[in-house]
Structure 1
């Protein structure tokens, strides 16, 4: 009898969890009809399209960052020891991508000719994004975009971000006539070869092969033209390259970094910046921006406004640098010359605490998200200057505990 009671006690949490999920699934069905359907209808989705997409739809409980009613907030996913930015762009990531990209440039040369003329975006940049996102279309997400977005839009920890993407995905089914079975995405709803979110698809996807459909899943011309259209729509300046690596002498202060501190390229050269290529030095009157993604602990770059257009594709300096460098590698074999110091001994929470201290002292650290963005890097450098230290503009294990104190 005691054994039976013990088994019942042990099984209670699982049973309660199953019961709770059943209740959440019921609420999900009500939410689909009472909230999603009216919003979809206002967005031009017909009842037939909505029913085809949602009949029999259930939540995908395997997705990350879910927060069902009554559940505690999801645990922080990024709390391992900090990794140096150089790991994102390490040399071992490039040989296969460079080889595949050069082959793709040849295979799709005629399509890319048309795209360059129409959008003013260099073919190498377009192909580099394609390679970074889905390895030239070889990586194919297999999840249902509707199910994933409905799940994270209902019980995800960032509902407000994903709910509009669900409505947009339904609009795609309605207006673009993409079969539901082909509307595949990553867990977060990024779709097709360019990995567009649905709202991005609606605004920037184009018909690149002239068949009357915007099919970024199966049509490479559509995918490539859509990437170029996105970059043009975000301000790509035709005729300017993204940037170049530089040797930053002592006259190039790391606190001068950022999109908000442009100077004519000629001024950077006078300060001692020595470009490795003539990519920007050939336009001395045009603005250039200093990029030091690891402060004095890594290489430095002089970038054009087009670098920040690349960054708009995925809000990360390292992503934009990866894409720009990959595009360079299609043209030649020059690796990034500057080394990346190995930095460790602190976590994202440590950085967040440091940012709070810096902001309390009046520095603009760009928020307290635990990420070492350019505003945090500049804030560190300014604090170091005021403290009588040599600015490095990037934390190490000791500095992350001291900065702002």
Structure 2
């Protein structure tokens, strides 16, 4: 990928406004004056759907747009492929101004560039599963043999091989949504628009669909715009999240930014009840590994140790993290032989943790360790560290909220106490 493609967002939304009513253009001056949504409605009978939306969406990311009912999230997603035209503003896709497309160009744009997955599946009941999946290709004029072959491939990808001849009414809700997802993917559209795609499913099936979307995205690297009112879902699948309120953009950021640094009371109310230890991974909160020893001899290692403010460091070789070393042990070893090799030095074992692990899973290990735990990636390379102090800082608000909701001291209160009191 070139630097230009990294810099240029795939989708750009610029100063987008949408007013619903008979004469929206005449009401725009009041909107720009700053009147509220309720004031606009009372004075003019017009409803503010979107107000001054500016967004950049990167190629290959899952971008989640969320908010309460009436926040404008579904209105916004329908602007991307111009199912709704804005009152004012620009919609740019790879630099192309979608607002300037004529009817024929817009039709081609929708067929080839964007595919939509609907909340209520949107399947045609009189067509088989195979025909539903291949429908987008049939509209594009692809021959039957080719589209059937491709539809079968996508059905296999979403776990529905063997269901080709079934009809939608013969499938469960989760299976129907898999068909809808396969149909969207079958067109090879670069951008997927998913409007509350999983909200009609029961919790277990919904979780399975979220998992499948995450796994598919690892292979496909589509640009996915996903609408939801569920913050847990947004945190689980989103690379970045935009939160809307009354048609206005309140905050945009990575899940950890939304969770740990809510922009205002509205966002804070959203994140209040999120299970933070389960939602955050080690990678999102770890600190860079500040203190490393890479010396070949004990004498050189001690010199390195004396240059750092801590009395411990991680010993790292070409093979990755080896263990933790304290200054006192090095000083004792130098007295015997400062030229002795570090590879023969008995480092203190310390089990590293994965950067992908949820915080919930590593709390006991972090609390029981004498040193901050080293964090490694899938290749075993040292990426950071997680200390009890940092963990307590990140989780204290969550445990405080839990403690406030109970009248007596429970395990959660004790855990918070331990995190704080055992801080090094």
Structure 1 length normalisation: TM-score?
0.25
Name the larger-Rg structure.
2
Higher strand share: 2
Structure 2 length normalisation: TM-score?
0.24
